[in-house]
Amino acid sequence: MAGAISNLSETTFDEEVGSASEPVLVDFWAEWCGPCKMIAPILEEIASEQEGTLRVAKVNVDEAPELARRFEVMSIPTLILFSDGQPATRIVGAKGKPQLLQELAAHL
Amino acid sequence: MSHHEVVIIGSGPAGLTAAIYTARADLAPLVIEGEPSSTSDQPGGQLMLTTEVENFPGFPEGIMGPQLMIDMRAQAARFGADIVTAKVSRVDLGERPFRIWVGDPEAPEPTHTADAVIVSTGARSVMLGLEAEQRLIGHGLSTCATCDGFFFRDQEIAVVGGGDSALEEAGFLTKFASKVTIVHRRDELRASKIMQQRAFDNPKVEFAWNTVVDDVLGESKVEGLAVRDTVTGEARTLPVTGVFIAIGHRPNTDLFAGQLDMDEAGYLVTGADRSTTNVEGVFACGDVQDHTYRQAITAAASGCMAAIDAERWLESRGD
C-alpha cells in the first residue's frame, strides 16, 4: 500500500528497520498520549508525501516496552530516524509539520 | 489572503466555545488552533496534557481532558467553524480590518484579515530556567506526566510545584513510581482542599517543604535533583530518575506586546465583566486574561462572553 505505516513489534523491528532500503522514521507512541495523537495525522501525510525516500513506522510502547528501553525512550512522542539500521537522529516531543520536516531534512 | 468576520486565535475551551457560539451566529469563524507541541501551548490547550477531568459539569463519571477537547472541536466544526492547524506569527491590530500572519512574520501581505479578533491563546507551563533543562527534557525531565509517567515504573521521582496541577500529576505518577516527592518552596500548598487531602492520604507521596531546586543532575539522563531547604540552608540531592515540573503558568501574550494592554504578569486586561480589550473589535477570553480562576469551565464561559460581545459589536457597526 502506498505510503503505509507499519506497526513494529519486538520480533519484527530488527528485520524491518535493518533491511529497509530507505531511512525509517520510527514513532514511539501510546494510546494514552495526547500529543502522540496530535502528530499521528502529520506522520501519515509525511509517509505518503515522502514515499520512496522515507518509510514511517510505529512502535506502541505499551506493546513493546523492551524497544522503548533499548532505545532509551523516556518521553513520548519520540521519533527516531534510522539510517542503514542505525539511529541517525531523534526528535523528542510533538512538533508541527514544518518543524518536523526541517529537522529531518538534514538527515535525508 | 483570506478575509473573515471573526478570527479566533487559540483552541482551548475558551477559543472553541467562542467558535461554537460565533459559528451558530452565522459568523463563519476561522479558528487558528496552533501547532502540535508537548507543552500546553498547542491545539486543545492545557487539557491535552491532563487525564481525568472530574469537575466539568455534565460528566458525572468524569471525562478525559483530550477527549473533552476533541469533542469541543468537533462541535465547533459541526456548525461550520473553519479550523486550521497553524501558529500565528504576527498580528497588526492598529487598524481595521485587523491583519494576521501565519508563517513568515515579515511577509508583506498578511495571511488573514478580520473584522473582529477573539484572542484565546491561553497560558503555558513555566520552566525552572536552568541550563540542565534543555539537555534533559525528554530524558527524565518532563512537563507532561500523562505522556511520560509510564517510563518511571518502580522508580523514585520528584514533582516540583504546589498547586492543583502539581498534586494532580503527583497522584497520577504514583500509579507507576515507587515514590513521588513533591518539592515545594513554601510550607503550605496552593492546591484545593480535595487535591491536598488526596495527596496527604497517598502513601507513595512525600513532601519536601520550604525547598527550592538548585539543579537537575545528570549528563544524558536525570540522575538526581539538587535541592536546598530555604529555612535551614541545607543542600541535599534527591535520588530521583524523573523530574516533573508544575510550577505555574505564563500567559501566551508575546504576540500582542505593545498592541493590547497587559498587567505586570503579561495577562491581557479586559473590561469589567466583559471580554473587551483596549482595541475596539478585539476580545479576549480564557486563561490569557484570567489569572484568578483558570478552570476549563470559566475559560469556556468567557469564550461564550467573547463570542456574544463580538457578535453585538459587529451588529452595532451595521455590517
pLDDT tens digit string along B222-274?
999 999 999 999 999 999 999 999 998 899 999 999 999 999 999 999 999 99
CB contact under 8 A, A34 and B140: no
- Looking at domain A6-105, its CATH class is alpha beta
Q: List, for residues A18-43, the tens digit of each pLDDT value.
A: 999 999 999 999 988 888 988 999 99
Q: Inter-chain contact A38–B140, Cβ cutoff 8 Å?
A: no
Contact B35 A30 (CB under 8 A): no
Q: What is the mean pLDDT of chain B?
A: 94
**Is residue B165 located within the same domain as residue B309?**
no
Reported ipTM: 0.76
For residue A1, is pLDDT > 70?
A: no
Interface test with B, best of A59, A75, A78, A100 (most B CBs within 10 A): A75
CB of B150 within 8 Å of a chain A CB? The answer is yes
User: Which residue bears the cell 509539520?
Assistant: A97
CATH number at residue B208: 3.50.50.60
Domain co-membership, B117 together with B256: yes
Helix H or strand E encompassing B132: helix B131-136
The predicted structure's pLDDT at residue B319:
54
Q: Is the pLDDT of residue B306 over 80?
A: yes
Query: CA B284, B285, B288, B290: dihedral to nearest 10 degrees?
Result: 120
Pair (B67, B173) in one structural domain: no
Instruction: Out of B41, B115, B148, B290, pick the active-site residue.
Output: B148
pLDDT of A2 > 60? The answer is no
Of A99-108, B51-60, B154-163, where does the model show the most confidence? Answer: B154-163
pTM of structure: 0.84
Residues B235 and B100 in one domain: no
Query: Would the pLDDT of A49 be above 60?
Result: yes
Q: What are phi and psi of A32, to 5 degrees?
A: -90, 10
Whether residue B256 sits in one domain with residue B121? yes
Question: B264 and B232: one domain?
Answer: no
* Domain final residue pick, B222, B245, B268: B245
Domain containing B295 equals: 2-125+249-316
Lowest-confidence range among A54-58, A96-100, B297-301? Answer: A96-100
Q: Please tell me whether residues B160 and B237 are part of one structural domain.
A: yes
What is the C-alpha separation between B9 and B6, in angstroms, rounded?
Answer: 10
Q: Rounded to whole angstroms, what are the CA distances from A97 to A41, A46, A52, A101?
A: 10, 8, 19, 6
For residues B15 and B120, the answer to whether their CB atoms sit within 8 Å is yes
Count of domains for chain B: 2
Do residue A38 and residue B49 have CB atoms under 8 angstroms apart?
A: no
Percent of chain A with pLDDT over 90: 79
Claim to verify: residue B272 and residue B159 sit in the same structural domain: no
